[in-house]
Chain A
């Protein structure tokens, strides 16, 4: 028998034989890199600001790896003609969503189809499926982005699992037109399974999450997953630079409220092109290590925002304890930066904090502290309205170390999401509408075409000084809202063709 010790040592100690590059390799590499750099600059320059404004909850750091799983190829989500939108279709339990068909015949597909549709700079492919109910939006430029949600007829989607109706749609026209994108085959969020949130880093790399995690490295043409989350649920995920950062929670919530009862959270990150999430070390003061990311058995929330472009940036985390943690977007340790003026408190169904909303601008961090909700509205489920709530807006120009109160936003509605644009405008989504401020000090209701939808909004984000997007709390409306004047007025954009 071979001496196994010697064999391993010999192998480890053996020389690597250099392989000289074939002629012209460097020139080819340079050309390809130049093209990609141009694309990424186009895509991320405006996108990083918006995609990042989404806040979520997230607790404790569990030093375990998430191992990526194989990617599956799927067909276009909506494969019909422009006049005959297709319904969402499942191909197999492990394949990407695929839909082919006509208006009269539900699509069927028994095996994965190559050449799925991905996110692109120009609208292409078949229209989005009917009855599209968006729950999350991600923008990679001011005009190019995607939504995720349930579509078709719940429980009757074609495929081995009829409940798997998760669908994606893309736009390259700021929401004026939509086309189907291949989606991971998985259902709506329900306890430990499903996905309802979406983030793309650029046209290539994207993640569908909450509570499970799926990823794509080809713009959504194929999706891999679910990744191993070690029993934890993904409650927040944001992208910037060349990485994704995710908050994983130890949660007990059931049904659609999968992230409403989480107690401890962990911060992870993954480089583009990698499906492996690595724990982000937290460098904390000795007295805070045990509780900053939550306390077992005590429901809480957290939120994550990132700023920056391809060459660097900073991430900020509002921890369950109210601590602000910050760090570079390289995966290196995040540190304690200061104490926020309030704690994030309880979470919505999808994990966004109800007690505080965090946003990052060019030069300042903003936090809206909300308390004393009353009335008939329910921010957890996004229904109702008319709730009164004391809100206070604070800003920090020291990276979270010191905070100053700048204004008191209107009391109407429960706050759900906060965003700021590059010219200091601030928008606050609530269960009754959207509040607008040109600088954070004075407020007025934003004008919403057709009136604010019942239940208000679950998310708002700004993609440039003038453009932004908002997702209604009621997904059944089948639309998102966009602004082109810095958040002063918002117009509904239906998803389905």
Chain B
């Protein structure tokens, strides 16, 4: 019986991995600089999820929460290096291989959002969770999450305007 349960768990884990990994990695990819980092973060998020596989009501929410935290840590760690690289390559031609410049610009602005606003913003607009789900994930009232989303959008628009004007 125990062996059957383990097999069922493993199958469920693999199904979840197959269903969610590509989108999670793609989600992370929009927030980091390269595919390799995106895969590292997505893999680490799944590792932590599977290490805590039992007792989780919402594996997908847990997955995105962990990934959000890992992305934040990556931003912190790489912030200084990225800034230096940007300075060095400011005059170089843009890499045509990937993503619109718009994506990077908005991402840079998101990095500067206060943590409170950023988490709600990423989970709702980027990961596609509903306001109620985000409220549950962050342990905040729905009204607070709505207000956070409003303020995040307002800040982004203002910041984008400042950056482009």
* Contact of B115 with A7 in the complex, beta carbons under 8 Å: no
Other-chain residue from A10, A21, A32, A276 in contact with B115 (beta carbon distance below 8 A): A276
Please choose the segment from A12-20, A87-95, A149-157, A483-491 that sits at the chain B interface, where 4 or more of its residues have CB less than 8 A away. A12-20
Q: How does the 8 Å CB contact mask read for A1-45 relative to B, with 1 for contact and 0 for none? A: 110110110111010111111100110111011101100100000
User: How far, in whole Å, are A276 and B116 apart by their CA atoms in the complex?
Assistant: 9
User: Which residues from chain B contact A269 at a C-beta distance below 8 Å?
Assistant: 139
- Count, A-B residue pairs, CB within 8 A: 131
Query: What distance in Å separates the Cβ of B148 from its nearest Cβ neighbour in chain A?
Result: 10
User: How far, in whole Å, are A58 and B22 apart by their CA atoms in the complex?
Assistant: 44
Other-chain residue from A5, A18, A276, A280 in contact with B22 (beta carbon distance below 8 A): A18
User: How far, in whole Å, are A276 and B70 apart by their CA atoms in the complex?
Assistant: 12
Query: What distance in Å separates the Cβ of B90 from its nearest Cβ neighbour in chain A?
Result: 20
User: Which residues from chain B contact A65 at a C-beta distance below 8 Å?
Assistant: 114-116
**Contact flag A332-B136 (CB < 8 Å), given A8-B157, A19-B38, A21-B22:** yes
Other-chain residue from A2, A33, A70 in contact with B50 (beta carbon distance below 8 A): A33
Other-chain residue from A10, A16, A63 in contact with B26 (beta carbon distance below 8 A): A16
* Contact of B51 with A10 in the complex, beta carbons under 8 Å: no
Query: What distance in Å separates the Cβ of B92 from its nearest Cβ neighbour in chain A?
Result: 23
Task: Give residues of chain B (8-42) contacting chain A, Cβ–Cβ below 8 Å.
Answer: 10, 13-14, 17-18, 21-23, 25-27, 29-30, 35, 38-39, 42
* Contact of B26 with A17 in the complex, beta carbons under 8 Å: yes
Flag whether B140 is at the interface (Cβ < 8 A): yes
Main secondary structure, interface of B, reads helix
User: How far, in whole Å, are A36 and B53 apart by their CA atoms in the complex?
Assistant: 12
Other-chain residue from B23, B46, B157 in contact with A29 (beta carbon distance below 8 A): B46
**Contact flag A28-B43 (CB < 8 Å), given A21-B21, A36-B51, A310-B55:** yes
Flag whether B130 is at the interface (Cβ < 8 A): no
Total chain A interface residues with beta-carbon distance under 8 A: 50
User: Which residues from chain A contact B42 at a C-beta distance below 8 Å?
Assistant: 19, 21
User: Which residues from chain A contact B46 at a C-beta distance below 8 Å?
Assistant: 26, 29, 33
**Contact flag A22-B39 (CB < 8 Å), given A4-B161, A4-B164, A8-B153:** yes
* Contact of B156 with A8 in the complex, beta carbons under 8 Å: yes
* Contact of B25 with A18 in the complex, beta carbons under 8 Å: yes
Query: What distance in Å separates the Cβ of B10 from its nearest Cβ neighbour in chain A?
Result: 8
User: Which residues from chain A contact B165 at a C-beta distance below 8 Å?
Assistant: 1
Flag whether A279 is at the interface (Cβ < 8 A): yes
| Nearest B-chain residue to A224, judged by Cβ | B76
Main secondary structure, interface of A, reads loop
Flag whether B65 is at the interface (Cβ < 8 A): yes
* Contact of A281 with B139 in the complex, beta carbons under 8 Å: yes
User: How far, in whole Å, are A330 and B56 apart by their CA atoms in the complex?
Assistant: 10
Other-chain residue from A1, A5, A29 in contact with B17 (beta carbon distance below 8 A): A29
**Contact flag A12-B125 (CB < 8 Å), given A18-B22, A310-B55:** yes
- Is the interface on chain B under 10, 10 to 19, 20 to 34, or 35 or more residues? 35 or more
* Contact of B17 with A19 in the complex, beta carbons under 8 Å: no
**Contact flag A311-B55 (CB < 8 Å), given A1-B165, A10-B102, A278-B140:** yes
User: Which residues from chain A contact B27 at a C-beta distance below 8 Å?
Assistant: 16
Flag whether A274 is at the interface (Cβ < 8 A): yes
User: How far, in whole Å, are A274 and B116 apart by their CA atoms in the complex?
Assistant: 13
User: How far, in whole Å, are A5 and B156 apart by their CA atoms in the complex?
Assistant: 10
* Contact of A26 with B39 in the complex, beta carbons under 8 Å: no
User: How far, in whole Å, are A20 and B102 apart by their CA atoms in the complex?
Assistant: 23
Flag whether B84 is at the interface (Cβ < 8 A): no
User: Which residues from chain B contact A25 at a C-beta distance below 8 Å?
Assistant: 21, 39, 43
Task: Give residues of chain B (144-165) contacting chain A, Cβ–Cβ below 8 Å.
Answer: 144, 153, 156-157, 160-161, 164-165
* Contact of A271 with B51 in the complex, beta carbons under 8 Å: no
User: How far, in whole Å, are A33 and B17 apart by their CA atoms in the complex?
Assistant: 13
Query: What distance in Å separates the Cβ of B39 from its nearest Cβ neighbour in chain A?
Result: 6
Flag whether A273 is at the interface (Cβ < 8 A): yes
Query: What distance in Å separates the Cβ of A22 from its nearest Cβ neighbour in chain B?
Result: 6
**Contact flag A274-B25 (CB < 8 Å), given A8-B106, A19-B39, A33-B47:** no
Q: A19-B42, A21-B25 are in contact. List 8 more A-B contacts (CB 8 A).
A: A2-B164, A16-B23, A29-B50, A36-B48, A269-B139, A273-B48, A273-B70, A278-B140
A→B interface (CB under 8 Å) = 1-2, 4-5, 7-8, 10-12, 14, 16-22, 25-26, 28-30, 32-34, 36-37, 40, 63, 65, 67-68, 70, 242, 269, 271, 273-274, 276, 278-281, 310-312, 330-333
Sampled A-B contacts (26; CB under 8 Å): A2-B164, A7-B102, A7-B160, A8-B106, A18-B23, A19-B29, A19-B35, A21-B21, A21-B22, A21-B25, A21-B43, A26-B21, A29-B17, A30-B13, A37-B52, A65-B114, A271-B65, A273-B66, A274-B65, A274-B69, A276-B119, A278-B138, A310-B52, A310-B54, A311-B54, A332-B136
